[in-house]
Structure 1
Amino acid sequence: MIDRACISLGEKCNLKCAYCHFHNENNGKLSGIPQEFTTDELIKIAKNLNDYAKTNNLSIFKIGIVGSGEPTLQYRKIVGLIEYVKNNNLDRLAFYTITNGTILKDKMLNFFLEHKNAIKMCFSLDGYEELHNLGREKYNVVFNGVKEYESKFGYKPPINCTVHSQTILNKTKLRAYLEDNNFKDVTFSRLFDSHDLSMTISKDQYQSLLEYFRGSQFEVRQLDENNKKKYDCTMYGTLCGVGRTNIFITKRGIYPCGRFYGNENYNYGAFDMDLENLEFQMGKMKSLEDGECYYDKYVEIR
């Protein structure tokens, strides 16, 4: 049963992060077709997913506004989508987005504050300045965005922290940084598909990092016992949802997850395809054991 989707609004981004697998591969631009959704197309997707949730008695369908670009560059589309969802009682949908935090405006933060029960804003922040800037950019600008969020909401934003080899080596300093800055909600995601192989880490290294944070002040979703049997993504510490619960929606088509973007052998069909047909396409995916990543097992060339 599909119960979560990521929607990639478009490819526009104001940064060139070193380990961004979307832009390093130039995936979505190979066809020469613009990869930007319109607001009306986003609304159509939302209506289809909400109807699907109702038909299948899903109380919540989780939707991430994340993908190959920076979501806040498409701010007006997010506003149009969320306002339509609220005004038309598409009450089965729960949204979140992940921003790099570098271009936030006061009106944007006011919107996310006003609609915090409809869409959750998270930040990509890999830790203190030197660690963050190894793979990303503009730590000082990002952290200024974090402070602006805190001044509006009264608490630090949830953050998504990418874990790579230098994270492992500097985990004590990272923990001190997160504690000193009073972060609470932290998601650790394992680096994958990096062009710099020295940055990648094994599953065991990743698990050891998670265990280091067990019993800390942080709400780490991978350490929540209630999430152990939930299908989502092994890079976030839970079970792979490819072919089961997850879809990645782009203008180019629907893929099993973001790692497949640009691989047309795994394009299920058009973004507005019939969801019964989508379920049929997903049902043709190969079997997978708990703890395995579909992309790693069947797709990646080793």
Structure 2
Amino acid sequence: MEIVEFSGFKVAIDPETNFWAIYEEILPEEILKFHEENSKALTERMKKYRFEVNFNTAYINPTERCNANCPYCYIPPEIRNRGREMDYGTLKDILERLETLGVRNVIFHGAEPLIVKNEIFRAIDEFDYRFGVQTNGFLLESQDVEFLVERGVNVGLSFDSPRQEVDDLLRGKGHHRKIVELLDTFNGYENLNIITTINRHNYTHLAEMVDFLAGKVRLVLMNPVRGTSEGGRALRPDPLEAAGHFIEAVERAIWHTKNGKRIVIGDFANVLLGIIAPYSRVLQCDISPCGGGRRFISITPDGIFPCGEFIGMEQFRTGLEDLENVKNHFQEVKNRTVENIEECRECVYRNICGAPCPAEVYAETGTMLEKSPFCEFYKKVIEHAFRVIHRRDVEHVINLRGLRKIYEIEFGK
């Protein structure tokens, strides 16, 4: 067990299992005994969770085209300009074959999937998956919203700033107005969420974004921009400054939730899950190795990639004909573990953070075995998660009713 000191309390944590205890002065012997008795079982369970190949999600890019030109886009412009698309026969064949892999979640992703909305809407009607659509929203009309809501489809809208001039700069002229219209049209739809890419232009607006969205959506993802492309690297904010504004946004979300407008920052909720329920994490980026090619895959007209962030990196592509055997591919991504990264192997938070993102690291350094450029960002956010646990605010971030308690030891109540 390693000890991390905070203002007013301490945390003892086993980095191999994420077993932890919060205390003030002396760590009770009962906790040390409990950890010793259970460490082998916990280690084995964490190892299985980290390394098993068990696909549950497929991201499908049915088209390479996009109707926007975001400056940090991870898909190379030559691919977007090439503009290959899946016809419905190809899409149907992929969906039928995914059933043999045990996939239950299918997310239509981009480029911009609604460019071929007729094909994906037909697929949603004909197949029994848990469907999602990630879109910039430009092509969503009122009848499309009605279709998606009636079928319970998860919808993610890209939206980068509550300030019109900034969002339009990043996402395209008229984008801010369109998203505001869509928020009204969806009218509190429970399966609607917002995806915000944290970058140099908007990282100071995160708390303001939470205020803007509270009462309109329940979930917002705030993802640090990936440096997969040169544009993404150019827009990377200072990690520590960004962490400060991210934490401010977390606090605003907790405040709104306490005051009747529940809103959760999904990235932070996932960090909390990595601490209190490490095998229940929804997002698979902060696990080592990450979920790419292990829990999910990205399927494009050009082939299969471990994750959309790898699109354009030919060495990480395999053909559509390999779909049934995809579990045997992408070993280099699966080998990127915190134990193999010098900066990470001794970090107390290594199995909470997971050192994302391999595509970003590889694109920037040419190797998988470097730490994340947002390392300090993740450390600060994890430390804040322990503060939220200590002050008993977890229920204002995570729905605890969905979790089964396995162990808990409390003293001094």
Q: TM-score, normalised by structure 2?
A: 0.60
SS in 1 for 2:196: strand
Deviations 1:202-232 (A, max 9, x none): 5555544443214243222222233564474
Q: Is the 8 A contact 1:28 1:252 kept in 2?
A: no
1:147 matched to which residue of 2? 184
1:97 matched to which residue of 2? 133
Q: Is the 8 A contact 1:9 1:250 kept in 2?
A: yes
Task: Map residues 126-275 of structure 1 onto 2, 5 A cutoff.
Answer: 126-128=160-162, 129-137=164-172, 138=174, 139-150=176-187, 157-179=192-214, 182-192=216-226, 193=229, 195=231, 197-201=233-237, 203-212=239-248, 213-214=250-251, 215-216=254-255, 217=257, 218-224=263-269, 225-226=272-273, 229=278, 230=281, 232=283, 234=285, 240-267=290-317, 269-275=318-324
| 2:157 paired with 1:123 | yes
Which of these residues, 71, 76, 80, is aligned with residue 18 of structure 1?
A: 71
Q: Distance in 2 between matches of 1:206 and 1:45?
A: 39
Whichever residue aligns with residue 93 of structure 2, its letter is K
Q: Distance in 2 between matches of 1:196 and 1:243?
A: 23
Deviations 1:68-89 (A, max 9, x none): 2x2222111112111110xxxx
For structure 1, which segment, 187-196 or 257-266, has the greater mean C-alpha deviation from structure 2 after superposition?
A: 187-196
Q: Distance in 1 between matches of 2:190 and 2:361?
A: 40
| 2:149 paired with 1:113 | yes
Deviations 1:130-154 (A, max 9, x none): 331231122112321222222xx65
Q: Distance in 2 between matches of 1:299 and 1:244?
A: 20
SS in 2 for 1:158: strand
Q: Is the 8 A contact 1:222 1:238 kept in 2?
A: no
SS in 1 for 2:320: coil
* CA shift in 2, pair 1:246/1:206, >3 Å: farther
**Greater relative CO, 1 or 2 (CA 8 Å, sep 6+):** 1
Deviation at residue 169 of structure 1 after TM alignment: 2.4
Deviation at residue 114 of structure 1 after TM alignment: 1.5
Q: Distance in 1 between matches of 2:169 and 2:80?
A: 25
SS in 2 for 1:300: helix
| 2:85 paired with 1:36 | yes
Q: Is the 8 A contact 2:223 2:267 kept in 1?
A: no
Whichever residue aligns with residue 124 of structure 1, its letter is S
Q: Distance in 2 between matches of 1:113 and 1:124?
A: 18
Q: TM-score, normalised by structure 1?
A: 0.80
Q: Distance in 2 between matches of 1:255 and 1:166?
A: 30
| 2:106 paired with 1:63 | yes
Over the matched positions of the two proteins, sequence identity in percent amounts to 19
Whichever residue aligns with residue 293 of structure 1, its letter is C
SS in 2 for 1:162: strand
Deviation at residue 201 of structure 1 after TM alignment: 2.7
| 2:327 paired with 1:279 | yes
Deviations 1:156-215 (A, max 9, x none): 931111111233223343333233x64321111111235265521355555444432142
Greater gyration radius: 2
Q: Distance in 2 between matches of 1:266 and 1:7?
A: 16
Q: Distance in 1 between matches of 2:239 and 2:291?
A: 17
Deviation at residue 95 of structure 1 after TM alignment: 1.5
Whichever residue aligns with residue 16 of structure 1, its letter is N
Q: Distance in 1 between matches of 2:296 and 2:314?
A: 17
* CA shift in 2, pair 1:274/1:296, >3 Å: closer
For structure 1, which segment, 8-17 or 284-293, has the greater mean C-alpha deviation from structure 2 after superposition?
A: 284-293
